[in-house]
Structure 1
Amino acid sequence: MPSANASDTSVTGALPQVPAGYYFLTVVTNAIPGGRVVRVQGTPFLPPTVVTPAPDAMVNTLLTSGTAEVGSTVTLLVDGREAGTTRTDAHGGWTLTPGIALGQGRHTLTAQATDPAGNRSVASPLRAFSVDSVAPGAPVVVTPAPGAVVNTSAPVVSGTAEPGSTVTLFLDGRVVATVVASATGSWSSTLYVVLLTGSYSLTALATDAVGNTSQQSPSNRTSHEHLRAEECAKLSQAI
């Protein structure tokens, strides 16, 4: 050891750089040798990196992933409680679905890694996220009204739903349009489909930003009629 500072009870000093591995460190005091096996780790043991969820993400199911030292065991803490452990793969990647129930709202998580020798890293920075697993209410179809008769080849359908949700429209069970509800919850869509004379069932469902899907709205039974020739002529003259 090139240099050392000694007191009555301890000796401290700087060791030369050596490759990572196990070494037997010997200390001789008053011609009496002593020593122990030490492990030189080399590269500092860094905390895991959390990739998902993204910072301040809104999720309906928590699936975490990230990277850590190859061969290490990652321990996930959610709101300060241990939520599960997993081992990194050959590339240092890891994924983990926590085994605890999470309520609605804001939460935090962090991760620590433990290598095969038992060394534990410091915790990763806190990562905040929010849980929303509540499905939106079923959309309300306002027009056409139940039982209405439409005689246009491109009927306009409108209604209300959770603001920002995506509304999917079904005609006799077939998807015919999607539209995003406005900030006030209103939506409107023109159906460009081939409609024969007869009765149709119109329903809608809403999917929010994190993938929660509502139940379908009650069936709105409407009828479609083609314009008679004389009505078409009157309509042409009026244009």
Structure 2
Amino acid sequence: DHNFTVIVTDPAGNASVESDPYLIIIDTKEPNAPTIDSVIDDMGTVTGDIANGGRTDDTTPTLNGTAEAGSIVRIYNGTTLLGSVQANASTGAWSYTPTALTNGTTYNFQVNATDAAGNTSGYSGSRAVTIDTTPPGAPVITSVMDNEGTVTGDIANGGTTDDTTPTLNGTAEANS
């Protein structure tokens, strides 16, 4: 912080009153990299914070984080700028909701911040989120196994069994 004041002296040697102080702050240090603390899904049946590498049916998930108080936070998908917001002037908290993102696309969100003096931070860690609004195909039951009693093995569709806990096997979309 620097407070500047000036006094003027005329050719006859008369000095003025000191001016009011003029404060400037010299800041040449880049801010710390901001953080992405959460990516929130608030649509559909599964809501909450989306894990890094997770999937969401919300095409407008909200990113939340912290940065230097009052700084401008820029939100990127890789190196493509999506938008910017100003961090809270006292807490540094920030929040950003993008316009609708594209289904089937994985976004690698990262952010940086620029302080009032124009110093720009490095990037935050990346937070990957895949937008998935397509319902999975119908699952298929490939077999129903009876492993109790005298008759065991695959039970035919429409068949009978004395097993009260038959094992169903099938296929479905991976990770569903």
User: Which residue in the other structure is 2:67 paired with?
Assistant: 161
Alpha carbons 1:110, 1:127 under 8 Å: kept: no
User: Which residue in the other structure is 1:202 paired with?
Assistant: 109
Counting strand residues as a fraction of each chain, which structure ranks higher?
1
Alpha carbons 1:109, 1:128 under 8 Å: kept: no
User: Which residue in the other structure is 1:181 paired with?
Assistant: 87
AA aligned opposite 2:37: V
AA aligned opposite 1:206: A
Structure 2 unaligned blocks of 5 or more? 40-50, 138-176
Among 104, 111, 130, the alignment partner of 1:223 is: 130
User: Which residue in the other structure is 1:102 paired with?
Assistant: none
Q: Secondary structure at the match of 2:58?
A: coil
1:140 has 2:35 as partner: yes
Paired residues for 1:42-81 under 5 Å: none
User: Which residue in the other structure is 2:121 paired with?
Assistant: 214
Q: Summarize the Cα distance change of 1:209–1:197 in structure 2 as closer, same or farther, 3 Å threshold.
A: same
AA aligned opposite 1:148: G
4+ runs of 1 displaced by more than 4 Å? 109-113, 118-124
CA apart distance, 1:157:
0.9
User: Which residue in the other structure is 1:152 paired with?
Assistant: 58
Alpha carbons 1:161, 1:206 under 8 Å: kept: yes
Q: Kindly, what percent of the aligned residue pairs are identical?
A: 26
Distance 1:169 1:136 in 2: 16
Q: Which has the higher contact order (CA 8 A, sep 6+)?
A: 2
The structure that has the greater radius of gyration is 1
Q: Summarize the Cα distance change of 1:129–1:198 in structure 2 as closer, same or farther, 3 Å threshold.
A: closer
Distance 1:128 1:186 in 2: 27
Q: Summarize the Cα distance change of 1:172–1:160 in structure 2 as closer, same or farther, 3 Å threshold.
A: same
**Superposition CA RMSD, Å:** 2.9
Structure 1 unaligned blocks of 5 or more? 1-104, 231-239
Q: Secondary structure at the match of 1:202?
A: strand
CA offset digits 1:93-148 (Å, max 9, x no partner): xxxxxxxxxxxx224264879xxxx9999688463322122221111001224212
Among 21, 25, 42, the alignment partner of 1:130 is: 25
